[in-house]
Amino acid sequence: MKFVWCLLLMCSSLSIMAQDEDNTYPDYRKKTEGYARMAEKDLKGEVASFALAALEDRLNKSPLPAIPPVDYGANFITFEGNDITVTIKAGTFDASKHKIGTYGEKKHVVRIDGKPYYGNYGSLPTYTIASVTMTIGKDTVQIPAEAYADLYSPVFTYNDDKGAVRTYNGVYLGGDKRTIYIYMLNRESIGSYEVTWIIQDKKYLRRVVDSGILK
Query: What is the pLDDT, as a whole number, of residue 10?
Result: 35
Query: What is the pLDDT, as a whole number, of residue 158?
Result: 93
Work out the end-to-end distance of the chain between its first and last CA atoms, rounded to an integer number of angstroms: 46
pTM metric for this prediction: 0.88
Query: What is the pLDDT, as a whole number, of residue 19?
Result: 34
Task: List all residues 6 or more positions away from 130 whose beta carbon is below 8 Å from its beta carbon.
Answer: 89, 90, 91
Q: Indicate whether 20 belongs to any domain.
A: no
Domain of 111, in residue numbers: 28-213
Mean pLDDT of 122-129: 95
Q: Indicate whether 128 belongs to any domain.
A: yes
Q: Indicate whether 18 belongs to any domain.
A: no
Q: Indicate whether 51 belongs to any domain.
A: yes
Handedness of CA 107, 113, 115, 118 (dihedral sign): negative
Query: What is the pLDDT, as a whole number, of residue 189?
Result: 65
Query: What is the pLDDT, as a whole number, of residue 22?
Result: 47
Q: Where are the alpha helices (DSSP H) in the chain?
A: 2-23, 41-47
Mean pLDDT of 41-52: 97
Query: What is the pLDDT, as a whole number, of residue 215?
Result: 66
Q: Indicate whether 2 belongs to any domain.
A: no
* Closest of 173, 172, 169 to residue 195, by C-alpha: 169
Strands (E) across 82-149 are located at 84-92, 100-103, 108-112, 127-136, 139-141
Task: List all residues 6 or more positions away from 19 whose beta carbon is below 8 Å from its beta carbon.
Answer: none
**What are the tens digits of pLDDT across the range 53-87?**
999 998 888 999 999 999 999 999 999 999 999 99
Q: Indicate whether 151 belongs to any domain.
A: yes
Cα(55)–Cα(53) distance, rounded to whole angstroms?
6
Is the Cβ–Cβ distance between 47 and 34 less than 8 Å?
no
Name the more confident of 18 and 147.
147
Q: Indicate whether 122 belongs to any domain.
A: yes
Query: What is the pLDDT, as a whole number, of residue 11?
Result: 36
Mean pLDDT of 39-44: 96
Query: What is the pLDDT, as a whole number, of residue 90?
Result: 98
Specify the number of domains making up the chain: 1
Query: What is the pLDDT, as a whole number, of residue 8?
Result: 30
Cα(186)–Cα(98) distance, rounded to whole angstroms?
22
Query: What is the pLDDT, as a whole number, of residue 190?
Result: 66
**What are the tens digits of pLDDT across the range 155-178?**
999 999 999 999 999 999 999 999
The amino acid at 99: K
Q: Indicate whether 70 belongs to any domain.
A: yes
